[in-house]
Amino acid sequence: MYLQIRNSRIYYETSGAGEPLLLLHGGLGTVEDFASQTPELAKHFKIVAFERPGHGHTADTTEPFSFDTMSAYTADFIEALKLGVTNFVGWSDGAIIALLVAISRPDLVKRLVCVGGLFNAKAQSSEDLNWIRSLTSESFRKVASPLVKRYNEISPDGPGHFSVVLEKTKKLWLTEPNITTKELAKISAPTMVMAGDRESIPMEHTLELFRSITDAQLCLIPGTTHFLMSQKPDLVNRAILDFLTAKEKPKK
C-alpha cells in the first residue's frame, strides 16, 4: 500500500490486529529487515511498517538524508494513518529515528524498543568510520549482496540509483546522529535498549544510551552482532514481546 506524505509516495505494509506497533527499518534496508519478527509480533499487535524515501519501494527525493527529516516523516506517517499513541521497534537507523520521535513527539510514543541504535555518530570506532568512508557500490555489494539485490529489484528509481543512495547514506552515517544525553533524558515513554553482545557499536556507548533514559531497560542478546534480529530471532522476539506486553508499573 502507498500513502502520500509531503512530496513522497510512501510504501507501507500492515498485518495483525490490536494496538499499533510501528517497525522502523535500518539504513539501506526495507520492511524485510523485520522478516524474522513480523509474523510473531503480528499475533499480538497491529504491525505497521513503512519504507523511507530512497529505501525499498519508496522513491528517493533530491534532499540529503537526515535523521531529523526521517523522524518528521515518521510522525507525519503516524498522524496520516491516525494510529494515535504507538509502540515502536526500531533497528539501527530505525532505532535512531525512534529515539528522535520519542524526544520531539512524546504524544505519539507508548513504548519504545531501540535495537542496535546509537545516539552520537562520533561514538563509532575508527575502524567502522574508515569502513564507511571507503564504501563503494562494488564493495558494499560484496558484503551485503542480498540487500543490494533487493534494492535493485524493487526500487522505483532503478538499479542505477543505488550508488546515489549509498553516497547519501555514507554522509548520514559519518555526521549523524548528534543527540545529547540531556535530550535522551527527556524521553518519557518506557524504553528498552537492546543490542548484541558482539555489537560493533562500542558497548560503553550502548550503556550510556541505556543510562541516559529514565527507567530504561537493557537487553543484551548473547552471541550476536548488529544483526541480532536474524541471528537469534526467538530470543529477540520473546524479549520484545515481554517488554511491550508487560503491565505498566504505577507512577510514584
* 156 lies in some domain: yes
Edge-to-edge strand list for the sheet holding 109-115: 2-5, 8-15, 46-51, 20-24, 86-91, 109-115, 191-196, 217-221
146-183: burial string, b at 16+ Cβ within 10 Å, e else:
ebbebbeeebeeeeebbeebbebbbebbeebbebeeeb
Nearest to 90 by CA among 147, 33, 151, 174: 33
CATH code of the domain containing 113: 3.40.50.1820
pLDDT in tens, 12-52: 999 999 999 999 999 999 999 999 999 999 999 999 999 99
Residue 251 has pLDDT above 70, yes or no: no
Query: What is the total count of domains within the chain?
Result: 1
pTM over 0.75? The answer is: yes
**22 near 48, Cβ under 8 Å?**
yes
Phi-psi region of 88 (alpha: psi -120 to 50; beta: other; left: phi over 0): beta
* 189 lies in some domain: yes
* 247 lies in some domain: no
Phi, psi of 233, deg, nearest 5: -60, -35
pLDDT in tens, 171-183: 999 999 999 999 9
Identify the three-state secondary structure at position 233: helix
* 251 lies in some domain: no
Phi, psi of 124, deg, nearest 5: -65, 150
